[in-house]
Amino acid sequence: MQQPLLLVHPLVEGNSMKKFFNDIVGQIWTLLGMFVAWIVLEGTAKTVVGWLIIASTVVWVITFPLRKDDE
């Protein structure tokens, strides 16, 4: 018998998605602090901090599978 085609990434399945959003909520103050820092800066510093915020957020999302607890 053929296996069904996996159309959804395992991260998006039920409990894993719930853990992912719980991780986001856990980091909300860090994200808010980075956003406020970006708002108050000017010029080149604002650009550099903006790119670093984007890069750190991408790295944080990519490394989520390493941080989640498998039960």
Tell me the average confidence (pLDDT) per consecutive run of 10 residues in the chain, 71 residues long. 52 67 82 90 94 89 75 49
Q: Examine residue 6 and state whether it is found in any structural domain, yes or no.
A: no
The reply to whether 39 falls in a domain is yes
Count of structural domains, the chain: 1
Tell me, what's the pLDDT at 9?
A: 52
Q: Does residue 50 lie within any of the structural domains?
A: yes
pLDDT at 44: 95
Q: Does the residue 41 lie in any domain?
A: yes
**Single pTM value for the model:** 0.62
> What secondary structure does DSSP assign to the chain, as a single string?
-PPPP--S-GGGSHHHHHHHHHHHHHTHHHHHHHHHHHHH--HHHHHHHHHHHHHHHHHHHHTHHHHSPP-
Residue 54: the pLDDT is 92
Which domain range does residue 42 map to?
28-63
Residue 21 in any domain: the answer is no
Is residue 2 a part of any domain in this protein? no
Residue 32 is assigned to a structural domain of this protein: yes
Q: Is 53 a domain residue?
A: yes
